[in-house]
Amino acid sequence: MTARDDDSAPLIVLGAGGHAKVLIDALRLAGRRVLFAVDADPARHGGSVAGVSIRGGDDLVLSQAPADVLLVHGLGSTRQCEDRLRLFDRMKQHGYRFARVVHPSAVVSPTAHLAEGAQILAGAVIQTDAVLEDDVIVNTNASVDHDCRVGRHSHVGPAACLGGGVRVGERTHIGAGATIIQYRTLGAGVLVGAGAVVVRDLPDGVTAYGVPARIVPAEPR
């Protein structure tokens, strides 16, 4: 069998924490088949997450032929996205592909483009001609309006709002409840704090908090 990104492809979940649990719930509601989960923490091996067995570490994935399965990126992204990027790229180098996950309650325009591994969670809205690049998370009740583009491995947090035409660089984290007004640009590696309101463009690598959002010294990671 050759795996396609459709309902017939069996899935392996990478990670066994809270984000993985939410994804497994969405996958079940969408009628998807999950084979097992893996996790880098040996203490979790032999346990389960949301009723799915955790069979070992990431290397266990390599026992499955890339043509036979799709992967689901269950590693969460809170303040930085580099760990997600490294795991994604490692599995891509081995020839694996990542499934898109779309919760049945999400609203996704037929003209939106969801790239490989994009995750759209419960209550999220993706409007017309929006583009989500590889491995983007649009979390619970977040909205991405018309003509936005969100770069690879970025995370739009719960209830965050991107106005029309917003550009978001790679590896950027937009905190819960933040608002990015229309036609603003966020660089790569930006951290926008929870509840912030971004009214100006933000360059690469900065941290911004507040209403309106102001650039502040980055906290140690």
Residues forming the active site: 146
Environment class of 215 (CB within 10 Å of its CB; exposed 0-12, middle 13-18, buried 19+): middle
Does the N-terminal peptide bond of residue 212 adopt cis geometry, omega within 30 degrees of 0?
yes
Q: Are 76 and 21 in contact (CB under 8 A)?
A: no
Question: Strand locations in 85-177, DSSP E?
Answer: 101-102, 107-108, 113-114, 119-120, 125-126, 131-132, 137-138, 143-144, 149-150, 155-156, 161-162, 167-168, 173-174
Longest dimension (CA), the chain: 52
Q: Are 30 and 103 in contact (CB under 8 A)?
A: yes
CA distance 126 to 112: 7
Cβ-proximal residues to 97 (8 Å cutoff; 6+ apart), any chain:
3, 5, 66, 70, 71, 116
- What is the CB neighbour count within 10 angstroms for residue 219? 8
